[in-house]
């Protein structure tokens, strides 16, 4: 039996002895020992039709992926955030998923491992490319090292030197360019000339299943949350986390948090379809996607109650607060959920159990001190 028979639309192989195959025609997930694994001990993931990523089959696919990427990710801890609870008063309970302690410093490792894991051996041999302000590039570089794939990533010359160095440390070649439009042009050129696969930062089933593994962990570690707050950039993080939360904790409310200066998902929710903005203007560079795209938009729309916006001043105050009261030094994107709970959502969460996704910590000390105004 081939690893990817035509009737199989999604599946995941952990070893020669256990495999998960989702059959699109029967809409069923099978566990089988009959699969021939052409690359033992490596991730083999066959993607499904995007429309099938819903319901129990999606959850099983996320769980199967979780097993396969398990050797390369950490089960990040959950913190009872008593500093935030004290500031809120009113019996509110706050649990924070410290995903900024993940390999590579952000949740992005999950999606990158999932995306590279689904490439064919020929695609892996040709290498990968990506465009990123930093965290996605680091994650792609990390996943490329895991799979022994060559990575050539395009980053902005304004990117934090710390992030550029982390990519290089994982063995990726970094191409620096001056603006985001040029970055995409260069990545396209690299794709064409080198025949590399483009690993998207937030759109597509691989990314969503990757972030769904985070959602599954959150629901296992915090089984009784009432409200879950998730930062939103392009929406890949929120698409998978909210999908898992909807399936595992259906009575909870999921709210996406965006910076005012990059509120593409907020505008997309209002318009009922993906929207772009002309100018991104926020200190939360990791949340600075200039547009939403259909796949993650649809999943967010289906599983997220609404998008709430926070200002850069609220982000700075939250960074400062997290440092002083929780002893956490995080990048602005990571402070977004704290900013929301201390700001616009304060009254709404009173007396409830709130779970916060804290997503990234790739920031150098000077930038941190400047934003947190220490």
Ligand X SMILES: Cc1ncc(COP(=O)(O)O)c(C=O)c1O
**Residue numbers at the binding site for ligand X (CB under 6 A):** 106, 108, 135-136, 201-202, 231-238, 286-287, 289, 333-334, 359-360
Please, what is the minimum distance in Å from the beta carbon of residue 302 to ligand X?
Answer: 16
Task: Using the minimum distance from each CB to ligand X, give the nearer residue, 37 or 180.
Answer: 180
Please, what is the minimum distance in Å from the beta carbon of residue 15 to ligand X?
Answer: 30
Please, what is the minimum distance in Å from the beta carbon of residue 235 to ligand X?
Answer: 5
In this chain, which residue has its C-beta nearest to ligand X?
A: 360
> Could you tell me the two tokens for 86?
């004290």
Residue 359's Cβ-count burial label (10 Å; 0-12, 13-18, 19+) is buried
- Among candidate residues 368, 281, 356, 374, the one with its CA nearest the CA of residue 330: 368
Please, what is the minimum distance in Å from the beta carbon of residue 199 to ligand X?
Answer: 12
Taking the alpha carbons of 215, 110, 265, 78 in that order, is the dihedral positive or negative?
positive
Task: Using the minimum distance from each CB to ligand X, give the nearer residue, 124 or 263.
Answer: 263
Task: Using the minimum distance from each CB to ligand X, give the nearer residue, 127 or 234.
Answer: 234
Task: Using the minimum distance from each CB to ligand X, give the nearer residue, 201 or 343.
Answer: 201
Please, what is the minimum distance in Å from the beta carbon of residue 360 to ligand X?
Answer: 2
Please, what is the minimum distance in Å from the beta carbon of residue 279 to ligand X?
Answer: 18
Task: Using the minimum distance from each CB to ligand X, give the nearer residue, 127 or 233.
Answer: 233
Please, what is the minimum distance in Å from the beta carbon of residue 354 to ligand X?
Answer: 18
- R_g of the chain, CA atoms, integer Å: 20
- CB atoms under 10 Å from CB of 6, counted, come to 6
Task: Using the minimum distance from each CB to ligand X, give the nearer residue, 117 or 332.
Answer: 332
Task: Using the minimum distance from each CB to ligand X, give the nearer residue, 94 or 284.
Answer: 284
């Amino acid at each position: 039996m081939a690893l990817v028979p035509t009737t199989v639309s999604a599946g995941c192989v952990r070893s020669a002895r256990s495999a998960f195959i989702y059959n699109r025609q029967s809409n069923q997930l099978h566990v089988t020992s009959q699969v021939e694994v052409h690359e033992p001990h490596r991730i083999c993931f066959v993607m499904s039709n995007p429309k099938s990523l819903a319901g129990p089959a999606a959850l099983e696919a996320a769980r199967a992926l979780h097993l396969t990427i398990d050797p390369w990710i950490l089960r990040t801890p959950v913190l009872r955030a008593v500093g935030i609870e004290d500031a809120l008063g009113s019996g509110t309970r706050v649990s924070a998923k410290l995903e900024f302690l993940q390999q590579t410093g952000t949740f992005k490792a999950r999606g990158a491992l999932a995306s590279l894991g689904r490439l064919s051996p020929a695609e892996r041999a040709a290498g990968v490319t990506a465009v990123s302000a930093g965290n996605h590039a680091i994650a792609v570089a990390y996943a490329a090292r895991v799979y022994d794939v060559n990575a050539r990533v395009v980053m902005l010359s304004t990117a934090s030197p710390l992030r550029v160095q982390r990519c290089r440390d994982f063995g990726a070649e970094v191409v620096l360019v001056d603006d985001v439009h040029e970055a995409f042009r260069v990545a396209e050129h690299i794709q064409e000339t080198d025949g590399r696969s483009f690993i998207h930062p937030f759109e597509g089933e691989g990314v969503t299943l990757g972030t769904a593994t985070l959602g599954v962990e959150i629901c296992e570690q915090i089984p009784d949350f009432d409200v879950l707050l998730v930062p939103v950039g392009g929406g890949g993080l929120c698409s998978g986390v909210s999908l898992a939360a909807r399936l595992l904790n259906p009575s909870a409310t999921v709210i996406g948090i965006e910076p005012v200066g990059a509120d593409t998902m907020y505008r997309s929710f209002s318009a009922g379809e993906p929207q772009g903005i002309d100018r991104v203007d926020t200190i939360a560079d990791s949340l600075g996607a200039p547009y939403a795209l259909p796949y993650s938009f649809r999943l967010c729309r289906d599983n997220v109650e609404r998008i709430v916006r926070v200002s850069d001043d609220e982000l700075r105050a939250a960074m400062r607060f997290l440092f002083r009261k929780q002893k956490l030094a995080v990048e602005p994107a990571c402070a977004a959920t704290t900013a929301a709970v201390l700001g616009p959502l304060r009254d709404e969460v009173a007396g409830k159990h709130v779970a916060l996704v804290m997503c990234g910590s790739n920031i150098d000390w000077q930038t941190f001190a400047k934003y947190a105004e220490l």
